[in-house]
Amino acid sequence: MYKKFLTPALVLVALLTLLAVLGIRAMEISPTFSLAQETETEGEEKDEKMGEEKRVYLTFDDGPSTVVTGKILDVLKKEDVKATFFIVSDRVYNREATLRRIAAEGHTLGVHSATHEYNQIYASDESLLKDVATCENVIARVTGIKPKVYRFPGGGKLKERARQTKLLEELGYRVVGWNAVCGDEEIKNASSERLVKETVKTSEGKSTVILLLHDSATHRATAEALPEIISYYRERGYRFCQY
């Protein structure tokens, strides 16, 4: 009698044990899988909703000048757009009010150079850093603001200036290049219409645009082109940024 029921009892115990083990494993595996799937889906939807933001930085080199910088500031104020101005400090003399206006209206002041004389600036690393310090001191003295951004005079490929860039970064500067131009230096005697066309051409296909413009005394056409340049980016959903 004992022997007849021994085997079925053992089988029943074995089955119950197996079901219990499978149940525990299912509880361990199922939540992890569901959470992973949910997280991936939420991430994809978030990316689709956000998309890639389009940004444009309007950057002006070689100022300040009295008339051109003033006209550019008038346009920026009317359009409620902030920009970045890379200053040549030798040109600040008798234009201190213009420099202070740039700062007072919320634009970014950056160091470009003291003299814009390439032979002097790039004679050595020491010459470059001295030039930067001179320009920085003028900006700070006139406006009370210590600049944090820098652009190499004459530009050049930043990779070729890697050592000098590192030196400037160690001083707390962010070195800024550009990836689009309005053509006010590259095209001799360009009209404002031509500058707008060059802006459109060199900005094409870029989600982040760092546009090079100039506000020194010879660039009246740049000030004239600026309203249409701003309109072009605004109509295409770009957000205006400053450094």
55-63 and 208-214 strand pairing: parallel
pLDDT tens for each residue of 94-125: 999 999 999 999 999 999 999 999 999 999 99
For 111, the token pair is 């160091």
- List own/partner pairs for 227-234 with CB under 8 A and 24 or more apart: 227/75, 227/79, 228/192, 228/196, 229/58, 229/182, 229/195, 229/196, 229/199, 230/58, 230/75, 230/79, 230/81, 232/196, 232/199, 232/200, 233/56, 233/203, 233/209
The predicted pLDDT at position 133 comes to 98
pLDDT tens for each residue of 181-225: 999 999 999 999 999 999 999 999 999 999 999 999 999 999 999
The predicted pLDDT at position 158 comes to 62
3 state SS of 57 = strand
Residue of 152, 208, 156 lying closest to 175 (CA atoms): 152
Residue of 233, 217, 234 lying closest to 60 (CA atoms): 217
The predicted pLDDT at position 26 comes to 39
Mean per-residue pLDDT, 82-98: 98
Q: Indicate the pTM of the whole model.
A: 0.78
Longest dimension (CA), the chain: 118
Residue 50 CA to residue 46 CA, distance in Å, equals 6
Proportion of the chain in helix, strand, coil states, percent, rounded to 5:
55, 15, 30
